[in-house]
């Protein structure tokens, strides 16, 4: 609905409908994965929200799908290029639910795309990618946000221009901030 509305609205002439990228943080990342092809089963029916206009996905701090025990069964259907970004202290603690940073890595590993990249920043928190200025620390927070912006730009150049050289160099460029980097 949102994409239909946007492509039919006053901004439509400024949008290249052949280069649509979905992005989201936390449960927004789960929504992004659903739009990119993840499939769930509910009450014996397949739930499929894939939008074929989505050509790539940027997934920030994606938790596993709540109540699901087979991430590969859900995420194998995501075949568009994906960039997954998280941090070593990306922990979700809410009453009745706990999810650690390894869960974000498991989501990356379960995703079916052959063109997927993972960046795991050292430190940080689940909220480091939000507009909160101090999550992860006053020094680390802006560095991680700038690095995530650079990673995203390099990822998009890789997807839409076929030039993955900048993306492959991100591990070296941000080595001081990264605990792990897996380029496509």
Share the mean pLDDT of the chain.
94
| Over residues 40-55, mean pLDDT | 91
Please report the pLDDT score of residue 132 as a whole number.
76
Structure letter (DSSP) for residue 28: H
The predicted pLDDT at position 139 comes to 86
What is the per-residue pLDDT across 169-178, written as a single tens digit (0 to 9) for each? Answer: 999 999 999 9
Share of the chain above pLDDT 90, in %: 83
3-state secondary structure 110-161: HCCCCCEEEEEECCCCCCCCCCCCCCCCCCHHHHHHHHHHHHHHHHHHHHHH
Taking residues 149-167, report their average pLDDT.
Answer: 97
Q: What is the pLDDT of residue 176?
A: 97
pLDDT value of position 43: 85
DSSP of 77-120: T--S-EEEEEETT--EEETTEEE-HHHHHHHHHH---SSEEEEE
Q: What is the CA radius of gyration of the chain?
A: 16
* pLDDT for position 96: 87
Q: Are 166 and 157 in contact (CB under 8 A)?
A: yes
Predicted structure pTM score? 0.94
Task: Please give the average per-residue pLDDT across 110-131, as a whole number.
Answer: 93
Q: Which pair of tokens denotes residue 71?
A: 């991430």
Task: Please report the pLDDT score of residue 153 as a whole number.
Answer: 97
* ∠ CA 75-104-53, rounded to 5°: 40
Burial 137-152 (b: 16+ CB within 10 A, else e): eeebbebbbebbeebb
């Amino acid at each position: 609905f949102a994409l239909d509305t946007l492509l039919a609205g006053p901004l439509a002439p400024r949008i290249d409908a052949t280069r649509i990228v979905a992005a989201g943080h936390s449960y927004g990342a789960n929504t992004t994965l659903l739009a990119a092809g993840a499939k769930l089963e509910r009450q014996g029916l397949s739930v499929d929200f894939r939008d074929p206009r989505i050509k790539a996905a940027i997934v920030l701090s994606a938790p596993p799908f709540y109540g699901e025990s087979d991430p590969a069964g859900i995420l194998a259907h995501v075949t568009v290029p994906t960039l997954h970004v998280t941090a070593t202290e990306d922990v979700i603690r809410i009453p009745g639910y706990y999810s650690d940073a390894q869960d974000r890595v498991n989501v990356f590993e379960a995703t079916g795309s052959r063109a997927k990249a993972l960046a795991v920043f050292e430190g940080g928190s689940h909220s480091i990618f939000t507009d909160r200025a101090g999550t992860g620390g006053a020094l680390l927070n802006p560095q991680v946000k700038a690095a995530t912006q650079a990673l995203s730009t390099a990822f998009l150049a890789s997807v839409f221009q076929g030039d993955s050289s900048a993306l492959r160099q991100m591990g070296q460029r941000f080595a001081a901030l990264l605990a792990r980097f897996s380029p496509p």
